Amino acid sequence: MSAPNRPKDGKSGGRSQPPPRGGAAKPKSGAAPARRAPSRPSGKVAPGSPAARRTREDYPTVQAFVAIGANLGDAQAAVKAAMDAIGTIERTVVTARSSLYRSAPVDAAGPDFINAVVAVRTGLTAEAFLAELHLLEEQGGRERPFPNAPRTLDLDLLMHGNAIKDTPALTLPHPRMRDRAFVLKPLAEIAPDKVPRAAIARVSSQVIERIRV
């Protein structure tokens, strides 16, 4: 005896009716066999599917670079956490991470800094992306009591695509990146085409140590 058709979800639409006495009813001669209704999309997008990737990535993006530093508290943990946090920014994906480096403070006092640089693809404008970085600094306990003060987290936007800006809020490329070994060496590690050899030579006297982990 063939089983009655059931909905796709496997649940009965109501209480099943017992067959009439004397056996199951037979279809009338010449009647067309029942056809199953075509399945319909559920409306849900499977994670990792092409459709899911399109919903996340179908917007223009640019390559940007962010310098990360910290010299208060557990600085290594703070820098690593910042790398992860940057990847949670809307329309932003971290594409490369440098090693961690240790360097002495520049034009400031305090403990040594832990530094790194990340590369991202972002669909945010430079101003919007910088605002998100400042929010991460605040969440990391950053305070600015005076210029070059020790900090729990420092995030500098180095480059945003080919943008050239000079406003009170933002200068691109970062105006002091070419003077800092703790920026150039991590940057050269993940994007050597962005750092001329002459630039590295100019900061060769600055002490910086790559941390082996």
Which one is catalytic: 97, 102, 151, 180?
A: 151
Cis peptide before 168 (omega within 30 of 0): no
Cβ neighbours for 128, distance < 8 A, ≥ 6 positions apart? none
Q: Which of 91, 121, 142, 178 is catalytic?
A: 142
**C-beta separation of 102 from 79 below 8 A:** no
Respond yes or no: is residue 142 known to be catalytic: yes
Whether 156 is catalytic: yes
Among 97, 102, 154, 180, the active-site one is 154
Known catalytic residue at 154? yes
Rounded Cα distance, 134 and 25, in Å:
74
Cα–Cα dist 140/134, whole Å: 10
| Block residue for tokens 């066999």 | 33
Give the whole-angstrom CA distance, residue 34 versus residue 23. Answer: 20
**Distances from the Cα of 18 to the Cα of 55, 141, 178, 180, angstroms:** 49, 70, 84, 84
Q: Which amino acid is at 81?
A: A
DSSP annotation of 193 reads: G
Helix and strand tally (H, E) in the chain?
Answer: 5, 8
Q: Which residue out of 156, 178, 179, 202 is catalytically annotated?
A: 156
Helix (H, G, I), strand (E, B) or coil at 151: coil
Please list the active-site residues. Answer: 142, 151, 154, 156
